[in-house]
Amino acid sequence: MEPNTLLDALLDEAGVSHAGLAARVNRAGRARGLALRYEHTAVARWLKGQRPRGQVPDLICEVLSARLRRQVTLGDVGLGAGGPGAATPSSLSGFVDRASALWRSDQQQRPHVIGVAAVTGTSAVMPVWEWENPPEDADVSREGAARVRTADIEMLRAARAHYELMYRRTGGIATRARVVGFLNAEAAPLLRGSYPDALGRQLHRATGALVAVAGICAYDSDAQGLAQRYFHQALRLAKASGDRGLGAYVVALLVNQSLCMSEHRQAVAFAEAALRSAGRRITPALAADLYAMQAKAYAHLGDGPSALACIRGAEAEAGRIRPGHEPEETGYVQPGLVDVQVAEALLALGDLTAAREHATAAVGTPAHDRGRVHRLAVLTQTELRHGEADRAARTATEMADTARGMESRRLRDRLRTVREHLATSGCADARSAVARIDGALRVPL
């Protein structure tokens, strides 16, 4: 079920508690001759995405209309024909309302939003399909209370760069609260403001890039369902902006998440969609990352020839990267990133010698702290698989020291995996390395 963030937002605006809404619906039902006995638990289920039966959706609209002194429709409360998460391709303003309702619920730490499960199958594929295919947004202009200016766009771009840097230094848990708070306080009012088509496309692009960072932070917090919703939002905003390159970047984030969730065939399909749809507008850095992630997916599927073909594609694109000619979003494709991705693919294929060479090259290239932890973890794995347990223990010690203080569930999972492998290696230095990893893990999140 999809959380009903629209109903949640209206309840907050109306100042009505769960129990209060249930009582009001019961009273409104009695006026229609209905014997209703709803309690706050029923409202909690509605907020999780369950649709009320019979006339109750109309009663909810009636209650909230009276409370807010304006007409509230089924669509307004997320109870229209398509449900709370239904997309309405012709209504960009409706999407903005749903998106900002999710930001608000996340900022308020609503459990039904933070703990939502990731969608699979058709529900996971459709946002990518809709991004790739017509119809396009012919006009994104809007009339609103506040006039959006170029300076507002620059503010959003600066915020994206700021929060991405914060994420790299401290992890997604601490950063997510800040970026989501900014989306609520700054981005949402701008999207509801007044702007012509050209400026509106810039606004949707800048907001989409910022929403993508919120998704990355949710992913790093291991709130996978929430991260997926943010990525889907960023993809819709990218389509409204008309920037295919930004959309391909967001799809790359979905590819990475698919790999995390072991949805390897989906990862391959998404990467192909990004490469195909962006075409010549895709940059070498993004293409290199997409090919490298495809290689990992094929390797896990046991398709060695396809994995090796993608590795060749990744290395060719990496050789074409020109510093200063890439958009800010692809700045994460730093020297050595393709090497570590390729090392993971080769590990899965069982080519330990080549995997060790690529992992060593990746660690020998400068990277931000978060990227370095990942590279050291992969090198530790290759060294262990290569029978070099003492060397792996030293690498793991550096990894643990670099990771200390980062608030990241994904990195903690990586540290635990390395710890388990070291603990069973039997080497003399393993005990010390395990203790250092335990020390890094004891830092509370």
Q: What is the pLDDT of residue 90?
A: 46
Reply yes or no on whether the pLDDT at 445 is more than 70. Answer: no
Q: Is residue 135 part of a domain?
A: yes
Q: What is the pLDDT of residue 84?
A: 60
Average pLDDT over residues 344-368: 95
Nearest CA among 78, 91, 76 for reference residue 1: 78
Given 46, 63, 86, the domain boundary residue is 86
Q: Is residue 22 part of a domain?
A: yes
- pLDDT, tens digit, 9 for 90 and up, residues 248-304: 999 999 999 999 999 999 999 999 999 999 888 899 999 999 999 999 999 999 999
Task: Tell me: do 65 and 126 sit in the same domain.
Answer: no
* pLDDT class of 83 with cuts at 50, 70, 90: low
Q: Is residue 138 part of a domain?
A: yes
Q: What is the pLDDT of residue 257?
A: 98
Give me 443's structure tokens: 């830092």
Average pLDDT over residues 227-244: 97
Measured CA to CA, the distance from residue 444 to residue 171 in angstroms comes to 13
* pLDDT class of 241 with cuts at 50, 70, 90: very high
* pLDDT class of 317 with cuts at 50, 70, 90: very high
Give me 160's structure tokens: 């994206």
Question: 17-56 in b/e burial notation, b at 16+ Cβ within 10 A?
Answer: ebebbbbbbbebbeeeeeebebeeebbeebbbbeebeeeb
Task: Tell me: do 58 and 202 sit in the same domain.
Answer: no
Q: What is the pLDDT of residue 280?
A: 84
Q: What is the pLDDT of residue 88?
A: 42
Q: 396 Cβ partners below 8 Å, 6+ apart?
A: 376, 377, 380, 418, 419, 422, 433, 436, 437
Task: Tell me: do 129 and 227 sit in the same domain.
Answer: yes
Task: Tell me: do 129 and 58 sit in the same domain.
Answer: no
How much of the chain exceeds pLDDT 70, in percent? 97
Q: Is residue 341 part of a domain?
A: no
Instruction: Please list the helix, strand and coil fractions of the chain in percent, rounded to the nearest 5, in that order.
Output: 70, 0, 30
- pLDDT, tens digit, 9 for 90 and up, residues 16-25: 999 999 999 9
Q: What is the pLDDT of residue 87?
A: 42
- pLDDT, tens digit, 9 for 90 and up, residues 40-64: 999 999 999 999 989 999 999 999 9
The whole-chain average pLDDT of the chain stands at 92
Task: Tell me: do 52 and 186 sit in the same domain.
Answer: no
Task: Tell me: do 101 and 230 sit in the same domain.
Answer: yes
Given 223, 242, 261, the domain boundary residue is 242
Give me 84's structure tokens: 């709370």
Q: Is residue 63 part of a domain?
A: yes
Task: Tell me: do 57 and 115 sit in the same domain.
Answer: no
Average pLDDT over residues 374-403: 93
- Domain encompassing residue 144: 89-242
Task: Tell me: do 100 and 216 sit in the same domain.
Answer: yes
Give me 372's structure tokens: 């370095």
Q: What is the pLDDT of residue 42?
A: 94
Nearest CA among 156, 199, 203, 195 for reference residue 179: 156
Q: What is the pLDDT of residue 82?
A: 58
Task: Tell me: do 175 and 57 sit in the same domain.
Answer: no
Q: Is residue 37 part of a domain?
A: yes
Task: Tell me: do 178 and 128 sit in the same domain.
Answer: yes
Q: Is residue 261 part of a domain?
A: no
* pLDDT class of 427 with cuts at 50, 70, 90: confident
- pLDDT, tens digit, 9 for 90 and up, residues 141-186: 999 989 999 999 999 999 999 999 999 988 999 999 999 999 999 9
Task: Tell me: do 102 and 77 sit in the same domain.
Answer: no
Q: What is the pLDDT of residue 196?
A: 97
Q: 304 Cβ partners below 8 Å, 6+ apart?
A: 298, 349
Q: Is residue 336 part of a domain?
A: no
Provide the 10 A C-beta neighbour count for residue 303. Answer: 17
Q: 324 Cβ partners below 8 Å, 6+ apart?
A: none
Mean pLDDT highest for which of 106-115, 203-212, 276-285, 396-405?
203-212
Given 49, 65, 86, the domain boundary residue is 86
Measured CA to CA, the distance from residue 352 to residue 312 in angstroms comes to 18
Count up the domains in the chain and report the number.
3
Average pLDDT over residues 81-106: 76
Q: What is the pLDDT of residue 89?
A: 42
Task: Tell me: do 69 and 200 sit in the same domain.
Answer: no
Give me 23's structure tokens: 């009582």
